[in-house]
Amino acid sequence: MNPIDAYQWLATHSRETALLGSVARLLGWDQRTYIPLKGHAHRADQLALMARLIHERETDPRVGEHLSQVEGSELTADPGSPEAVNAREWRRTFERATRIPPELAEALAKAAAEGETAWEQARPQNDWPGFLPFLERLVDLSRQEAEALGYTTEPYDALLDGYEVGETAAGLESLFRNLRESLVPLVDAIRGSSRVPDVAVLHRHYPRALQEQFSREAVVKIGYDLEAGRLDPTAHPFSTGLGPGDVRITTRYDENFFSTAFFGTLHETGHALYNQGLPPEHWGTPRGHSISLGIHESQSRMWENLVGRSLGFWEHFFPKAQALFPSLQDVSLETFHFAINQVAPSLIRVEADEVTYNLHIIFRFELERSLINGGLQARDLPEAWNAKIQEYLGLTPPDDRDGVMQDVHWSGGHLGYFPTYTLGNIYAAQFFAKASGELGDPAGLFARGEFETLLDWLRRNIHSQGSRHRPRDLVRVVTGEDRDSRFLVEYLSDKVKALYALK
């Protein structure tokens, strides 16, 4: 077969595999939103079958044979061409997939589906013993996965690379250490400030229906196409891209806390904007797919925090919020803005402020790294968790529900995922600094309700690129520099020093 015909076979095969993947994601979306309670066992079998079918296609020997015809041909002479990008990523996917035995791929998918269901039922009951067997199974399978994939230094690297291409635990350890050394003194300085935000205004009554209305208006305003998406309630917010014209977000509501739904919705909208901005003509091939979770997270954290918690954003939206929510009618813009930017150690990661959030991620990274490398057993996680959160944030969880069981990730087998959140924060600050330098101070744009200028910049520089560049390469191409935590540190320092009147 000649290179052109081989490439066409690979492209067709890739798109058909992507269609199966989108069906699996739709099953997963339904499982986490509207599935009846008694349907979970059957859904686990469905997802396991989908995983097996996808794995069989990814490991089809013909993929390797046709790739050998394409690689080194004129089709891949330009490394930035769609053909070269696709061949590069198909090779990576093929090599990873062929190292995983089919029975392991199916077992992982089924254990993940069962684990999430067990977590959804056990967490509200604070039932760690009931959830533990599912987690032990997932950790064991994840260790098997790491061994099957292979690694140079440590097992955790094999899993991490699946979420953030080219990353290693050692590299993250150094990056995160530098970040922690900058953030801890900042948190200490805030503790010494005499300025204290009135966060009670966020814990007034905010009717769910009005929260949903306001959230919908906000996400449409910043660019989310609801004719190509949905907003639904769930236990743990997420976004999923099912394909062109169908990118969905979810959120959870608390009628006595404004921030939970609104900022969670903005976060998931950032993910959705990225998915809606991917080039549809390349859907089903790597060139039309996002490159990593860290880059994906940069988009969600940017819209949630650098945009959504900015003064300019609320100069535009606060009058609308006051008109909608009686609870805000006696609150000033300055009081509200300070409240949503409070910095204070908290137990729950998804409710953490911008500064301490990264400390949550760093200790989770250390725990799951130890879990996979064998230094920690799942049964010992509650004690290890409580020790870490005490060390990093000075807190002790009252129970496992708000401690080791608070996140959905491990219940779904996503070990190696957590570091991408802080990588996303680092990338977001660096991208935002570059965009601000090119577009001018965004505050004025936001205050006028002009969000399309930033979104267009992101679409040109990041979304439309798909998997053209690996994560660190994309950062270099867009900003002209390697990834650097100093942009995040500078952004956070400038912001909180102004709010808390620090020197």
Q: Which residues are catalytic?
A: 268
SS (H, E, C) 389-423: HHHHHCCCCCCCCCCCCCCCCHHHCCCCCCHHHHH
| DSSP type of residue 307 | I
Tokens 């925090």 appear where? 305
Name the H helices within 291-410: 293-301, 311-324, 333-340, 354-373, 381-393
Q: How far is the C-alpha of 103 from the C-alpha of 59, rounded, in Å?
A: 13
Tokens matching residue 174? 């150094």
Residue type, 232: D
Q: How far is the C-alpha of 18 from the C-alpha of 283, rounded, in Å?
A: 8
Check the CA dihedral 495-501-502-503 and report its sign. positive
Q: How far is the C-alpha of 268 from the C-alpha of 287, rounded, in Å?
A: 22
Give backbone dihedrals phi and psi of 175, rounded to 5 degrees, phi first: -60, -45
Q: How far is the C-alpha of 116 from the C-alpha of 190, rounded, in Å?
A: 37
Q: How far is the C-alpha of 248 from the C-alpha of 151, rounded, in Å?
A: 35
Q: What angle do CA 217, 455, 24 make, to 5 degrees?
A: 75
> 322: helix, coil or strand?
helix
> 454: helix, coil or strand?
helix
Check the CA dihedral 26-297-161-374 and report its sign. negative
Q: What is the CA radius of gyration of the chain?
A: 23
Q: Are 247 and 266 in contact (CB under 8 A)?
A: no
Residues sharing a CB contact under 8 Å with residue 413, sequence separation 6 or more, in sequence order = 108, 111, 112, 115, 138, 141, 142
List strands edge to edge, sheet with 246-251.
Answer: 231-233, 246-251, 239-243
Residue type, 317: F
Q: How far is the C-alpha of 500 from the C-alpha of 410, rounded, in Å?
A: 36
Beta strands in 101-219 (DSSP E): none
SS (H, E, C) 89-129: HHHHHHHHHHCCCHHHHHHHHHHHHHHHHHHHHHCCCCCHH
Residues sharing a CB contact under 8 Å with residue 145, sequence separation 6 or more, in sequence order = 100, 104, 108, 158, 159
